[in-house]
Amino acid sequence: MFTSGSDSRNSVIGSRFIVGSALVLVASSMLKLAHPGPILTYLSSMGFEGTDVYLIAVIELVTAALLLLPRTRALGVLMATAYLGGAVAAHIAIHRFTTDDPFVAFMALHTHIGTLEPGVLLGALWFGVWLSQRPARGLATTQTVPAATGTRPAKTQQTVQPLTGSRHLVTRPAANPVTEIR
């Protein structure tokens, strides 16, 4: 049976995956803002030039900021999913031979390789979300606890609130057939 310690550990590890994914987005946006030649060549082979590169960098920064703030994390996951899904689609659909750069030519012929980076990042992000929101098994079971008075035990159910992770006991008193008839 899992304990609250494993719940906490899952949440911490899941949060680390989410923060790690956000930091990868920050690093990617910083590279796009710095405008190094190889990145511009690669992006221009897919049709992203000039201010488009800045727009992509800003979208990555906003998404990373939303992922890093716990209150906006759900919106950040939604935005990251849309953005990285679009990146996968762009890598599959759009590659032009506009240069003699061997890397761009290789990526144009092997579009599935370009989908690995955004696909792995998206998988890591969703794994972190799953891990941080996963309730421990065995906590939502019904246990019989002897009642303080009477002969029938009260049913006690321990539940976990999914967003906060706090636990509380829900106790239903035993039905008394004498008082129910009256």
Q: Looking at residue 117, what is its pLDDT?
A: 85
What pLDDT is stored for residue 149 in this prediction? 59
Type of residue numbered 171 = T
pLDDT at 93: 74
Upper half-sphere CA count for residue 62 (Cβ side, 13 Å): 11
- pLDDT confidence of residue 3: 52
pLDDT for position 176: 54
Cα separation, 103 vs 107, in Å, equals 6
Cα 161 to Cα 56: distance, rounded to the nearest angstrom: 37
CA distance 1 to 97: 57
Separation between Cα atoms, residue 81 and residue 59, nearest integer Å? 12
Residuewise pLDDT in 10s, the chain (182 residues): 445 566 688 888 999 999 999 999 999 999 999 988 888 887 887 788 889 999 999 999 999 999 999 999 999 999 999 999 998 888 777 765 555 666 666 666 666 667 788 889 999 999 999 998 876 554 444 555 555 555 555 555 555 555 555 555 555 555 555 555 54
Beta strands in the chain (DSSP E): 142-145, 154-160, 167-172
Give every strand in the sheet of 167-172, ordered side by side: 142-145, 154-160, 167-172
pLDDT given for residue 87 in this prediction: 87
Whole-model pTM?
Answer: 0.64
Q: What is the biggest distance separating any 2 CA atoms in the chain, rounded to whole angstroms?
A: 91
Neighbours of 7 (CB within 10 A): 18
Percentage of the chain exceeding pLDDT 70: 59
Provide the residue count of the chain. Answer: 182
d(CA 129, CA 13): 10
What one-character DSSP code corresponds to residue 143? E
